[in-house]
Structure 1
């Protein structure tokens, strides 16, 4: 009876082991299949991107070569002399001979060529390969091409509903004299067959070309020619079923190249299907075309499934081998050995689970820190919008009432409180910035950064901690990120304060200038020039010597569980490495710690790329367009500007402002626009307006100065950037200066 129960228990144990093994293998098979599918998709996307890039380059090189060949013809002395002869005597023979000789010798696929004089009149035409269909030549807009006096792509025009042509324009000049133009007409169907079809990988890839307006001008299916996703699909940007297509189009028109997976719609012309796409933008003489390489998503799935049977067979064989091995090992093992293995397995599993739990807690805490940074950005934005009218109206009332008024001091207190709030917001500001790119590095006044960081440190100090500052008497400039250096100091000072809790002590921050010879010995082989030493020391509990070599490792902390992330000193060391600097830690248990930061000194001087507006109380005349999503800010600025005599049109909806601007773009002299708006960012709005009114002066108002604003300021699309909260005197002074510059330019 006992033997029977023992045998039954063994069978149940074997069955349980088999079920567990099957579950693990099933999970592994699923993960492997999913990873393999994603790998295949990524590979196909890269292949498609290479194809789209090659098609874009081929098409660009061909069109550039056509334009360059015609330009060589038109700049020959003989051709120019014949053109001058034509204007004197009307003789066309020499010009015809040059054109005919070029057409017969080049044979580059030009179907028709026009020679136009400076008034757009046709001098001569030559048809080498006539189109099969007759078409209305007015669609060529030859007179408009002459008026533009540009060299490059003309326009794609419809020969028939399923056939497109393309014009290339070469302006003819002799010195400063404009003589006319040569207009070459190409058959886009022939272009597609010659430069696109060979890249379509045996029909598995479709190549599609759209012009700058998004209209399809090349497609393997002729029914799709002239189709425009934006114009031919109603509610493209609102209906949820079009979301993936809309996201792909937005990505395509905002980047030079990229990849996407989306569901394709064509208003019933072609069946709906999910597609993998890669795109590359072709830029030629200021004109952009968009070349896409697409293939059905189902094709990738089919490729994966074809390998699934072989993979499943292999997994089955492995499973049988493993199962057989387990049965053989189980039969050979004794009960005592089995218990040892199980005990060891449980111990390892328990240790792994503990490590996994600890890692998850650390990652979750780090994510909280990132969330705090994002929250700080939102707080700064909202506080700036509130402080603008508070400080503005109080400053305005002070100016209107004068010091002799009985309420002047009360209003002045409001203004001072707003200014203090602005200082606090400025101290929060570094937590909302993300500066990891070396392009954000500038020459930084280190003393200014240290004093700014110490403002925040003083807010963290308890009454039992005394702060001692020993600054270097003289200017010290370093090349780097002010925000990241601020972060270094704040991390070190925060750690020092926590090390002195609860008894308190002295926190010392000292700076001094040192030579290369004064650096610690371990830093000598990789350092040159002078350095600044920043010492942050405390009189706290100190760090044990066995832990001192580990404090810069990620996730290592001397604090109790839940009190620290172990990321602070690791981040500090990484920042210093990116700045070409070093950090050294010294500590005595029970006496305190010293952290010595070394940064290389630069002889360059800090330069200010974004200037605050100069104060001015002058009035002026001009038309101003004001756009800000915050009603309080708009109401305040509009009232003050009207008081100064300006004509002001104010909007809280950027789309409404854009529609109004489109009706009369030349009406306004100056644009004041907020950067962070819900429907349309200020940088996007001002770029459109600047494009349609080149004389428009632009002031960008923002709480956080981003990369795009800095770039547009450098490109002179933004004349001035003012940070919130904006003092009205600074704004009015900037307006007077910009409008005065505009008047002098005219």
Structure 2
């Protein structure tokens, strides 16, 4: 019953829409068929005209070529007759040289005097006298083109010139080579061919040799009795009148066995020979054009059919979607909103390839940082222990201090390496010493500067502090410096980084910030200057747009400056650029300077105040590295700290069940278990301060501190120095002064 109530209101509108769609499709199909037939008719006419025009153009070109050939032979023949009349002794050599140079088209030269004929270029096929002359076409009063048969039954064309003194000289043309070399290389369709006739209708050249020398109508009636030649005779009459044209007629395909009746298309043109002319024609089956048209139309109708099927399928699917849309409109709207949210998320994501590389580097550096931190922890701890026990003016104290300083530098390097390779950048901000931040960033910049670029730094700062995120700020500075390196390229150049404290007035002069706007009185200004190729005004207008880049494909993602601007804005800062094309670029970064009430510098004698207090601090350290625990245990024995160690979370839970601790410091991960999860599970025996010792500070750790699941975190390697400083910064109930 419920299903009927749902679908019954939709059934009638859907049926009406379906009937309308089917009617529309029938009308569409009729229109497609009608216009298809119209197009087919026009296409056939156009294709036939194009084919016929190409044939006629080829035939006219062939007629011009043959005319030029016979005129050339006539001129040569007259010249040789003059040589022969002069009685030149080298006549034979000249004639034979001419024959050799014009083979195989010219078979020889035939000279008749009052005596026996003289033959140059002897050939067994045509040696002997002429037995029959089939055709004669006069070029002028003394030159005639004959189709002849020799006593050897060999046929050829004889271009003869008659002198007044009775001398007759002829050039013998090999008909077979003439056809193959001049005519057969032109193809019309699969079986098309050329025919040459004289002005009386005698066939001079044809693909079938047995038709050479016959009259085109009467001769074929003798060869093929009973054939209907009326359509052919009408076209031949037009040809013998010296006309040029194209005709469609009904005849027979003489070159096939049985000479089947066929509809033909012939293009013909005269070949002028002076007083007479020849006719050259090209013949093709009309069926071949029809087959081409039929194939093209089949493909066209197949395309129309596919298109029609696609349209029908699309309309049917649209009707289905229409019904579904009425039923699920609210769901579709929900998914549309979700799609918008996903698109916004995708637009803010880092480049996919960059993420993959950082993921691999992050995985590697995470393990490297963990192992190095475990090695640095006892080094720093034992160095501190020695410094506590030794006199400050002793050589041993200096050596221990050097070890401690070197371990601090190694710690910074590990933190920088891990910080720049994180996939999820820490979102928490904290108070940072501006000078230390910039100097550490410059260390990374030095690693990307090639030898042709000189890095110059000028950091004019004291103890100024800014509120920010170290990783993000390092990324912003590094992005701009990398762009500067690309801008300089392979030329010698300079990259200068200048940092100074400036007043609010300077920023007011260059920004759109209102004078009465609530802001900081002082700002940290970082200038990054290069003498590279610079930027045009058009490029500067787009430089902060995501994915905009002037680099070649594969050399940049176009995200560097876009991400940098986002980072600077998130830090309540400002970024400006000035550039001159061909001269270089300078970027100005402004960050608000804050007072550092919590910024502490604990000296090497930090333990003095602890030794003077009466109450001991109870501290529980959880770490799976026994060497780290041993070192911390030895150091804390020198201080009023009651230290308890545990190597896993279960042991720590047992300790917490029997005793309350002021502070608990935990390794971030032990055997795959999270210290954050452990801290959330110890509400019954919760210590005053919870500190996590981590190789890298990720988003989860920052959010745990923000949510007060933990009090603070400390970067490894840890020492008594770092733990007490963290405890002092977070403890409100303990008196560590």
TM-score per shorter chain, which class?
A: 0.3 to 0.5
Larger Rg: 2
Using structure 1 for the length normalisation, give the TM-score.
Answer: 0.45
Using structure 2 for the length normalisation, give the TM-score.
Answer: 0.46
